[in-house]
Amino acid sequence: MNKIFNQKTFHYLSLIMAFTYIILGMWVYKHKMISPTDQKLNILAGVLLVIYGGFRGYRAYMGIKTINTLNDQNNAS
């Protein structure tokens, strides 16, 4: 029980961090925070942060889904 709680907590925190990366990527893209003069660098950094955030969000979602499935199977037996 405690191990499942810790894993779920970790995955929910990972989901929050994924949203943080996505928001940070959009903010970098919009406000040109990486380089005020090089627009291509800002676009690249923003897009990479959004993609990374999406990847982390997907992994966190799949982790939560797996834990819930295993928990349901254990409760059914």
Please write the tens of the pLDDT for every residue from 15-71.
Answer: 999 999 999 999 998 888 777 788 899 999 999 999 999 999 999 999 999 988 887
Confidence of residue 72 (pLDDT cuts 50, 70, 90): confident
Res 14 pLDDT > 90: yes
Structural domain boundaries, residue 27: 2-76
For the whole model, what pTM was predicted? 0.82
Is the pLDDT assigned to residue 1 strictly greater than 60?
no
CB 65 within 8 A of CB 6: no
- How far is CA 54 from its chain centroid? 6
Cβ neighbour number for residue 42 with a 10 Å cutoff: 19
Number of domains in the chain: 1
